[in-house]
Amino acid sequence: MRKLFIAAASYLAVGLISGVFYREFTRAYAYVGDTQLSRIHTHTLVLGTLFFMILIGLNKLFDLSEDKRFNMWFILYNVGLAWTTAAMFTQGVVNIVYGPEEWIPAFSGIAGFGHIILAFGLIRLFQILYTAIRGDSTNADSVLYR
């Protein structure tokens, strides 16, 4: 459960810092258009902080971290979210500094891998959650019998 709290706190810090960075970076370049930098703040606060805070409660109820797949899920999800956030950051900086025409489609493909990894992480979490909720009917300590 400590691992989930550290992840939530880390994403809170990244989310708040990214919001300040967006405001100051666009101000420094006098940029007024739309950019991916504005979305990093929300993505990290929701998919990072809020998500892991909810997961702390679910872990308390269902002991999700006891599942042998949990550590692999944790790594997979965080890699996906970090990859997605890094791609958004890169695109935002490139758009502001060099202009949107410098962003080539190959970069979008690379950014898409982060979303794919994130999706696999969410699917794996639902598998872990389903197993915990379903429980084992032969075990009196199962979630269904609490």
Residue-wise pLDDT for 10-20, tens only, equals 999 999 999 99
pLDDT of residue 139: 46
41, 96 Cβ separation under 8 angstroms: no
Per-residue exposure over 22-56, b if at least 16 CB sit within 10 Å of its own CB, e if not: beebbeeeebeeebbbebbbebbbebbbebbbebb
pLDDT level of residue 49 (50, 70, 90 thresholds): very high
37, 92 Cβ separation under 8 angstroms: yes
Count of domains observed in the chain: 1
pLDDT of residue 100: 83
CA distance 11 to 122: 17
pLDDT level of residue 136 (50, 70, 90 thresholds): low
Q: Is the pLDDT of residue 59 over 60?
A: yes
Q: Average pLDDT, stretch 96-125? A: 91
Q: Which residue range(s) make up the domain with 93? A: 2-145
pLDDT of residue 137: 44
Give percent above pLDDT 90 in the chain.
79
Q: Is the pLDDT of residue 140 over 90?
A: no
pLDDT of residue 141: 52
pLDDT level of residue 1 (50, 70, 90 thresholds): confident
CA distance 119 to 121: 5
Write the CA distances from 83 to 21, 32, 80, integer angstroms: 18, 26, 5
Residue 121 Cα to chain centre, angstroms: 9
Q: Determine the 3-state secondary structure of 56 from DSSP.
A: helix
Q: Find, among 61, 113, 63, the residue nearest to 87 by Cα.
A: 113
